[in-house]
Chain A
Amino acid sequence: MAVLGLLGVWLGFLWLTSQYVRAAMFYGPLDTQHVPMQPFAAAQGIGLLLAAGLLAQRLPAWSGDAELARRAQALTQRVSRLTQTRSDATEVAVAELRRIERDLHDGAQARLVAVGMSLRAAEELMRSSPEAALALVTEARKTSSRALDDLRDLVRGIYPPVLADRGLAEAVRALALDTPLTVDTDISLPGEPPMPVAAAVYFAVAEALTNAVRHSGACTVEISLEHSGETLRAMVTDDGDGGADPSAGTGLAGVERRLATFDGILAVSSPPGGPTIVAMEVPCSLTETNLPDAGRDGSGPAGIVTGEDGQPAGSPT
């Protein structure tokens, strides 16, 4: 093989030299018709190909061993990280399903059983004791109302309706409004992240807000949300006492695992005395058409004109 390759290179060299000499002699364009160059060219082509093949085989041994090893190591690390995050994602999904099953079982399902029992008892008492029957029917109605409350809470925990309606930016604003603290938002998202990312970031922000309300003693929280360089960044900062230990509770650890599925990361800074900063980054691109209603900026018959801050025009501040 090596001999053939060298032969090809030598023939090619000969041919090139002859062309060069001819060109130099006549100062004119190369006259290919007077030279039987096809056999030379073919031989040269084959030779070069073989030589290149040999070179490619030999190259790592000469200079690229370190580079290849580095790439192999990076790939191994990537595979092991993907294996880890995939198994985490599966576990998170199963845990989530079990929580939903438990909530349904202990909540709405149990209440509906109670409603049925009350109504059955009311049937029995209808004639003999209408007063008691009426009281049972009223109780059944109240229990059905509580079953609806349970279902509503459950739905919010699965995929919040406002997130489905309006997308991440508005859903985070709604979250800020529902938090019993003063929450300032600084949100600039020119589009919508993919739905799974939007949900993960929404619940991450919600978890950080819940922690701020429950543990930090904070009065004011700032949420910022922005997208640049193919990365979605969210930050929740509170003016509380600090000293939060992200490894102590399961909440932020779960958030971290959920974000890791999208190669996202979570960082918590909470020195004693505060402030507590929860920051997260998820690589993703934004699209304009993720939401069911693409033309939402006042173009449709039922669009809402929004001001610069994303609030409806003329909304109270």
Chain B
Amino acid sequence: MRVVIGEDLFLLRDGLVRLLEAHGFEVIAAVASAPELLRALTELEPDVGIVDVRLPPSFTDDGLRVAIEARRARPGLPLLVLSQYVEQLYARELLADQAGGIGYLLKDRVFSDDAFADAVRAVASGGTVLDPEVVSRLLAKRTRSGPLATLTPREREVLSLMAEGRSNAAIAARLFVTEKAVSKHAAGIFTKLGLSPSEDDNRRVLAVLAYLGA
């Protein structure tokens, strides 16, 4: 799997390259600024891009802007966006095109979570992976009306784990229930959110989007 990395801090860029190569990924470019990253993402045709939000030249959210611009040029280009802090506002912007293949994680997950390589693969295959911090803040929202208010506590739990990019099997393991039970909750969620029976992956993305829109 061919990966492009955009990260301005040498130590982190180097660490990412080594980590990904250790997991069998091929790093085709590792660049340190927003313009270089945009060029690499649009011209080198990577399978997935890993993007730091804060990049030169302006050191604000240049990386995020590159991510959105690159996906406009190449719709659905899988991107995993990393940052020192997560904002729901940015998560919404990344997910706005509803095309899937988006990850948004805190940087410390990269080196402290074994699931990082899984997250890269999930994003590359069109999944949505949101940081637990984004998801937990969504979960804290008191919803009084709308379809989300009709979800049972268990369904909300399943939906939040879906938003973290976990498969039904992983959700089952986390909640100590059978995979079949998770499928049943997922079906319940899709029905309540009015998502027609179609391809499961896309419905998961749309369910997460409905969640984010709350």
What string of 1s and 0s marks CB contacts (under 8 Å) between A167-183 and chain B?
Answer: 00010011001101110
Q: Which of B87-142 contact A (CB under 8 A)?
A: 87-90, 92-93, 95-98, 108, 112, 137, 140-142
Tell me, yes or no, whether B10 is within 8 Å of chain A by CB.
Answer: no
Query: Is A301 within 8 A of B96, CB to CB?
Result: no
Max count, chain B CB within 10 A of own CB: residue among A173, A302, A314, A317: A302
**Contact A181-B141, Cβ < 8 Å, known A301-B69, A302-B65, A312-B93:** yes
Q: Are B142 and A156 in contact (CB under 8 A)?
A: no
The interface-forming segment of B16-24, B55-63, B159-167 is: B55-63
Interfacial chain B residues near A141, Cβ < 8 Å: 112
Question: B89 to A302, Cβ gap below 8 A?
Answer: no
Which residue of the partner chain A has the closest CB to B143? A182
Binds B, one of A32-40, A45-53, A144-152, A229-237: A144-152
Q: How many A-B residue pairs have CB under 8 A?
A: 92
Interface size on A, residues (CB 8 A): 37
A177-B92 contact in complex given A219-B142, A317-B213, C-beta closer than 8 Å: yes
Binding site for B on A (CB under 8 A): 141-142, 144-145, 148, 152, 155-156, 161-162, 164-166, 170, 173-174, 177-178, 180-182, 219, 291-293, 300-304, 311-317
Question: Could you list 4 further interchain pairs (A-B, Cβ under 8 angstroms) beyond the known A148-B108, A161-B87, A313-B96?
Answer: A181-B142, A182-B141, A316-B212, A317-B213
- A–B complex contacts, Cβ < 8 Å, 15 sampled: A144-B112, A145-B108, A148-B108, A161-B85, A182-B142, A302-B38, A303-B69, A304-B65, A312-B68, A313-B96, A315-B93, A315-B96, A316-B95, A316-B209, A316-B210
Listed in ascending order, the chain B residues whose CB lies under 8 Å from chain A are: 34-35, 38, 54, 58-62, 65-66, 68-69, 84-85, 87-90, 92-93, 95-98, 108, 112, 137, 140-144, 209-210, 212-213
Q: Which 9 A-B pairs have the closest CB atoms?
A: A302-B65, A292-B58, A174-B89, A316-B213, A180-B140, A165-B60, A177-B88, A315-B96, A165-B61
